[in-house]
């Protein structure tokens, strides 16, 4: 048994939910209340508030995963970090789990894009009017070429750079915390059924965008099941990273004009 695995402590579903609701709830309150008020008061484009909110939110998970790793008494070396966070090489049949996860992710993206305008127009799922069309598919103005969250992109390379950093922090923050840190501890508590608790809390992480939960709730359980069976955090890192890289490409094209 590896040094890190031997020190794993089980985590209850109640604590798993609490550790998700605290940051997710705070982030939801900030983007639904504080940011719209700031936009209305200052006239500053939504993007300039969204970027620090998004990066800060995801950085919390990245820092928390590393703090948790340290508190377990793990050594700060690559073999131990690799073992604890399940950063194993993808080989053989593990690629089948990768393809399965990628397939479900593509289906989820298609559903979000196809059903987004309808779901986000439902009264109790509606986003604030101040939300740009990139986050609110039912926005009356719709998305405009070369515009990202109210900002003209052409020539603004700094936006691409900041968003790319945010993309990295987003992917590694979420995956290190949920798949690398929490999931192994949930397995100690729930065994082969850990994917149920894990899927629930990962969906809760997206409560700031309520309309997406209609799709994400069933999808997150399926994704968590595949991830637990794959036992390799690189699988969700790669799939999540590929899916979330689409806006990066869009921003690049907008910046280039």
Q: What confidence tens digit (pLDDT) does each residue in 177-227 have?
A: 999 999 999 999 999 999 999 999 999 999 999 999 999 989 999 999 999
5 lies in some domain: no
Band of pLDDT at residue 113, cut at 50, 70 and 90: confident
Give the mean model confidence (pLDDT) for residues 105-115: 90
Cα dist. 65→138, 170, 182 in Å? 35, 13, 8
Residue 152 φ then ψ, to 5°: -70, 125
**Model-level pTM?**
0.92
H helices then E strands: how many in the chain?
11, 2
pLDDT of residue 130: 85
6 lies in some domain: no
For residues 117 and 3, the model is more confident at 117
pLDDT of residue 248: 97
Contacts of 214 (CB under 8 A, 6+ apart): 115, 119, 125
Number of structural domains in the chain: 1
Q: What confidence tens digit (pLDDT) does each residue in 150-178 have?
A: 999 999 999 999 999 999 999 999 999 99
Structure tokens at 172: 């590694």
- Would the pLDDT of 139 be above 60? yes
3 lies in some domain: no
Mean pLDDT computed over every residue of the chain = 93
Give residue 107's domain range: 11-256
1 lies in some domain: no
Residue pair 153/255 in contact by the 8 Å Cβ criterion: yes
Of 6, 14, 150, 179, which is closest to residue 87 (Cα–Cα)? 179
2 lies in some domain: no
């Amino acid at each position: 048994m590896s040094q890190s695995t031997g020190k794993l402590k089980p985590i209850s579903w109640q604590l798993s939910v609490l550790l998700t609701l605290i940051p997710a709830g705070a982030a939801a309150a900030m983007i639904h209340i504080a940011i719209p008020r700031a936009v209305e008061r200052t006239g500053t484009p939504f993007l300039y508030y969204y970027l620090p909110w998004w990066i800060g939110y995801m950085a919390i998970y990245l820092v928390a995963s590393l703090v948790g790793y340290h508190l377990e008494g793990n050594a700060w070396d690559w073999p131990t970090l690799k073992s604890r966070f399940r950063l194993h090489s993808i080989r053989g049949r593990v690629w089948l789990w990768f393809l399965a996860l990628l397939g479900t992710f593509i289906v989820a993206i298609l559903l979000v894009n196809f059903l987004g305008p309808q779901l986000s127009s439902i009264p109790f799922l509606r986003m604030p009017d101040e939300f740009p069309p990139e986050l609110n598919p039912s926005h009356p103005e719709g998305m405009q070429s070369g515009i990202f969250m109210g900002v003209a992109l052409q020539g603004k390379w700094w936006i691409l750079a900041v968003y790319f950093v945010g993309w990295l922090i987003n992917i590694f923050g979420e995956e290190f915390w949920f798949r690398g840190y929490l999931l192994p501890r949930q397995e100690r508590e729930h065994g082969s059924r850990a994917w149920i608790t894990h899927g629930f809390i990962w969906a809760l992480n997206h409560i700031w965008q309520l309309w997406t939960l209609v799709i994400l709730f069933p999808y997150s359980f399926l994704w968590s099941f595949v991830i637990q069976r794959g036992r390799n955090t690189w699988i969700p890192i790669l799939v999540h990273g590929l899916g979330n890289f689409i806006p990066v490409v869009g921003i690049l094209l907008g910046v280039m004009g």
